[in-house]
Amino acid sequence: MILEKIKKENDIKELSEEELEILADEIREFLIQKISVTGGHLASNLGVVELTMALHLFLDLPKDKLIWDVGHQSYTHKLLTGRRENFDTLRKYGGMSGFPKRKESDCDCFDTGHSSTSISAGLGYAHAREIAGEDYKVVSVIGDGALTGGMAFEALNNAAQLKSNFIIVLNDNNMSISENVGGLSTYLSGFRTADAYLDLKMGVMNSLNKIPVYGNKMVERIRKTKSGIKQLFIPGMLFEEMGIIYLGPVDGSDMKGILRLLKEASNIEGPVMVHVLTHKGAGYLPAERHPARFHGTEPFDIETGLPSKPRVKANYTDIFSTVMRKLGDRDEKVVAITAAMTDGTGLKRFHNMFPGRFFDVGIAEEHAVTFAAGLAAAGLKPIFAVYSSFLQRAYDQILHDVCIQNLPVVFAIDRAGLVGSDGETHQGIFDISYLSAIPNMTIMAPKNKWELSDMIKYAVDFPTPIAVRYPRGEAYDGLKEYRQPISVGKSEWIYRESEIALVALGSMVKTAEKVHAALREEGIPASLINSRFAKPLDTQMLMEAASKHTLVVTMEENVINGGFGEHITRFYNEQGIYVNVLNIAIPDEYVEHGNVDILYHEVGIDADTILKRIKEVYHPL
């Protein structure tokens, strides 16, 4: 195996041309085999094998700086920097991350996970290099999907002022997770479909360049002409007009061609974009056919491409998807918005059934929120379905555009809680804290699948901003008999006993049931309250909990700071109510990747740890 010769960064430079070709095949085989067992981001990685190899032939790592946007396509980079042995532990607790991590390797110079950050970070490196008078290359690799994010454009706008070399590789596979959308995507896909036209343009430019003295001048004149003729001759004019030199496009499977262009790009003083046309899923037919399904995949059978363990139970996203279809049918004012997560948030069915009332805005959470505010101001009922960690992007828009005007926007917050293998960038553990600080915001969390359905229906007709948060994975189907109508700020008593009041929110009701059962076995009576609302709090319930119990235990899948529990403690303090309160929440730390059951235990929100902590503070009279 040639791959075995790669023990560390730069080893690839020792290989012959023939060996490089074999290596590309071996890398694909390796990735397919490993990811079929561990799960992970397959399709994007298969598409950038030659591009990554060319970058590694071009750069001198770790001296040079290579930044991957999102970072889900960095597996070949990991392989070429001596991390082959770690692939069995990919995205597992204590194992290798699925994203670049500075703590993992010197060759990962910037951590990523959320989209559209790479140009900003690369530009930071480029300016720092200038200030320090150092000499290294900086390359940011950004996908066509990530380029739809506002941050990328803010960075391009800023980069235009840079005087030294900075290479932006546009890894264009004509796909986001699913189909890429919007004007930019249409612009870029024109580069693919008009190959012959592009060849003509490049041919004319090359021929002109060959004419002694006058040729170069003519090309320069064409570049400077403010007319349609310029568009005819200069591919990538959009970027050139912004002050970013554009080179390409080059075929993403042509390693030598990419390398040639990178070398050419490195001679340019200033920012330069190298446009590489890659193919998502390249080399594995099921992934080429279904790039969205193989974007991030569970373990699968290599022969058939089917999941190794088919899902039997519905997850919360499935429930949301069904409710949205019903709501779309029932009410023409209901409109749905996603920021490039149609599949992940379960809006595919809504999209198919009501295409005129569905909006994929690209990877643009900030815009999505203000866009929703506009729709709401005009009288529609917008539902923005979004992952908890990605909504962090849009904090000011929630506050400034939705909540100050008190507009009825529904935030359907999926992946709220620990998400598992994506790790610290993706854990949805801050939304209660960041949303509850905003006046006019109402926050709900369902205990089970029926309650999610009821809450979404309730939220759609709510007159002011409202969020429903629910976790990744299987929807809880216990406690079916508890289904009183939702009423704002009202909780639900599940067991009304004495001594200990377990006040649980959303996903923690299931855990609280286990704690309740364990306490009962030990002869300790406990009440269980499903809080339903993180904001506003059910103050009447809290008064009763304090007056009839000796210990109140708050339980949430969110960080402790600014969380549900902290608000309850403050309420008791403000009211002068003296009751023993134990806050169960995630500590003030980032939570790494791994199986969620392991993580629950690690952060101390699993039933066993909660029971232990209760016993430490509960002292019967």
Ligand X SMILES: CC(=O)[C@@H](O)[C@H](O)COP(=O)(O)O
Ligand Y SMILES: Cc1ncc(C[n+]2csc(CCOP(=O)(O)OP(=O)(O)O)c2C)c(N)n1
Residues in touch with ligand X (CB under 6 A):
70, 72, 177, 295-296, 344, 415, 419, 422, 472
235 secondary structure, DSSP code: T
Question: 414 a known binding residue?
Answer: no
User: Smallest gap, in angstroms, from Cβ of residue 278 to Mg ion?
Assistant: 8
CA distance 91 to 37: 12
Site of tokens 């002022």: 161
Verify binding: residue 115, ligand Y, rule CB under 6 A.
yes
Please identify, using beta-carbon distances, which residue of 142 and 579 lies nearer to ligand Y.
142
Q: For residue 303, what are its two tokens?
A: 């022969």
Q: Between 34 and 114, name the residue whose CB sits nearer to ligand Y.
A: 114
The site that binds ligand Y (CB under 6 A) totals a number of residues, namely 24
Q: Minimum distance from CB of 545 to Mg ion (Å)?
A: 50
Alpha helices, DSSP H, located in 161-213 = 183-193, 195-210
For the chain, the first-to-last Cα distance in angstroms comes to 70
Report the side by side order of strands in the sheet with 271-277: 65-68, 138-143, 166-172, 271-277, 245-251
Cβ count within 10 A of residue 307 = 14
On whether 365 is known to bind a ligand per the annotation, the reply is: yes
Where helices occur in 393-536 by DSSP H, the ranges are: 395-396, 431-436, 449-460, 508-521
Residues 6+ apart with CB under 8 A from 500: 519, 524, 525, 526, 527, 549, 550, 551, 552, 553, 614, 618
Residues 6+ apart with CB under 8 A from 599: 93, 418, 420, 591, 592
Tell me: is residue 146 an annotated ligand-binding position.
Answer: yes
CA 549 to CA 556: how far, in whole Å?
Answer: 20
Least distance between ligand X and beta carbon 284 (Å) = 17
Which amino acid type is present at position 291?
P
How many residues form the binding site for Mg ion (CB under 5 A)? Answer: 5
Which uninterrupted H or E stretch holds 233? helix 228-233
Interaction of residue 363 with ligand Y, rule CB under 6 A: yes
| Residue 144 annotated as binding site | yes
| Calpha distance 563→345 (Å, rounded) | 24
Which residues carry out catalysis?
280, 365, 393
The single-letter code of the amino acid at 159 is A
Choose between 150 and 305: whose C-beta lies nearer to ligand Y.
Answer: 150
Q: Which residue is nearest to Mg ion (CB)?
A: 143
Shortest distance, position 341 Cβ to ligand X, whole Å: 7
Nearest distance from C-beta of residue 276 to ligand X, angstroms: 20
β-sheet bridge partners, residue 410: 383, 466
Instruction: Give which of Mg ion, ligand Y, ligand X, none residue 419 binds (C-beta under 5 to 8 Å, depending on kind).
Output: ligand X
Q: What is the DSSP string of 303-323?
A: TT--BSS---S-BHHHHHHHH
Interacting residues with Mg ion between 142 and 181 (CB under 5 A)? 143-145, 173, 175
113 marked ligand binding residue: yes
363 binds, among ligand X, ligand Y, Mg ion, none (CB under 5 to 8 A by kind): ligand Y
Interface map 166-205 toward ligand Y (x if CB under 6 A): -------x-xxx----------------------------
Task: State the Cα–Cα distance between residues 306 and 300, nearest whole angstrom.
Answer: 5
422 binds, among ligand X, ligand Y, Mg ion, none (CB under 5 to 8 A by kind): ligand X
What value, to the nearest 5°, has the Cα angle with vertex 19 and ends 17 and 21? 75
**Tell me, what amino acid is at 369?**
V
> Is the distance from CB of 132 to CB of 102 less than 8 angstroms?
no
DSSP conformational letter for 204: H
Complex with ligand X: residue 70 or 80, whichever CB lies closer: 70
Does position 342 interact with ligand Y (CB under 6 A)? The reply is: no
How far is the CA of 366 from the CAs of 73, 115, 225, 253, in angstroms? 24, 12, 36, 35
Which residue number, 105 or 115, has a Cβ lying nearer to ligand X?
A: 115
Question: Does 144 interact with ligand Y (rule: CB under 6 A)?
Answer: yes
Ordered strands of the 526-530 beta sheet = 492-495, 526-530, 499-504, 549-559, 580-586
CB nearer ligand X, residue 43 or residue 441: 43
Binding segment for ligand Y among 130-138, 246-254, 339-347, 509-517 (CB under 6 A)? 339-347
Residue 236 lies near ligand Y (rule: CB under 6 A): no
Q: Cα–Cα distance between 225 and 222 in angstroms, integer?
A: 5
Does the annotation place 72 within a ligand binding site? yes
How far apart, in whole angstroms, are the C-alpha atoms of residue 576 and residue 558?
26
Residues of span 384-423 touching ligand Y by CB under 6 A? 390, 393
> If binding is defined by CB under 6 A, does position 280 make contact with ligand Y?
yes
If contact means CB under 5 to 8 A according to the sort of partner, which of Mg ion, ligand X, ligand Y, none does residue 519 touch?
Answer: none
Q: Which is nearer to ligand Y, 70 or 327 (CB)?
A: 70
| Dist CA 182 CA 74 (whole Å) | 26
Q: Is position 18 annotated in a ligand binding site?
A: no
- Looking at 39, 40, 98, 143, which residue binds ligand Y (CB under 6 A)? 143
Q: Which residues contact 263 (CB under 8 A, 6 or more apart)?
A: 58
Q: What is the DSSP letter of 425?
A: G
Give 419 or 508: the residue with its C-beta nearer to ligand X. 419
Residues numbered 36 to 65 that lie near ligand Y (CB under 6 A) are 44
Residue 44 Cβ vs ligand Y, minimum distance, rounded to whole Å: 3
Token representation of residue 302 = 């290599």
By beta-carbon proximity to ligand X, the closer residue of 344 and 417 is: 344
DSSP assigned state of 424? G
The interface partner of residue 44, options being ligand Y, ligand X, Mg ion, none and the CB cut-off 5 to 8 Å by kind, is: ligand Y
From the list Mg ion, ligand Y, ligand X, none, partner contacted by residue 373 (C-beta under 5 to 8 A by kind):
none
Please tell me whether 301 is known to bind a ligand: no
296: partner contacted, choices ligand Y, ligand X, Mg ion, none (Cβ within 5-8 A by kind): ligand X
CB of 369 to ligand X, least distance (A): 18
Q: Min. distance of Cβ 117 from ligand Y in angstroms?
A: 8
The count of C-alpha atoms lying within 13 angstroms of the C-alpha of 311, restricted to the half-sphere facing its C-beta, is 11
Q: Is 141 in the site for Mg ion (CB under 5 A)?
A: no
Residue ranges for the known binding site for Mg(2+) are 144, 173
Residue ranges for the known binding site are 72, 113-115, 144-146, 173, 284, 365
Binding site for ligand Y (CB under 6 A): 44, 69-70, 72-73, 114-115, 143-146, 173, 175-177, 280, 295, 339-341, 363, 365, 390, 393
Binding site for Mg ion (CB under 5 A): 143-145, 173, 175
Residue ranges for the known binding site for thiamine diphosphate are 72, 113-115, 145-146, 173, 284, 365
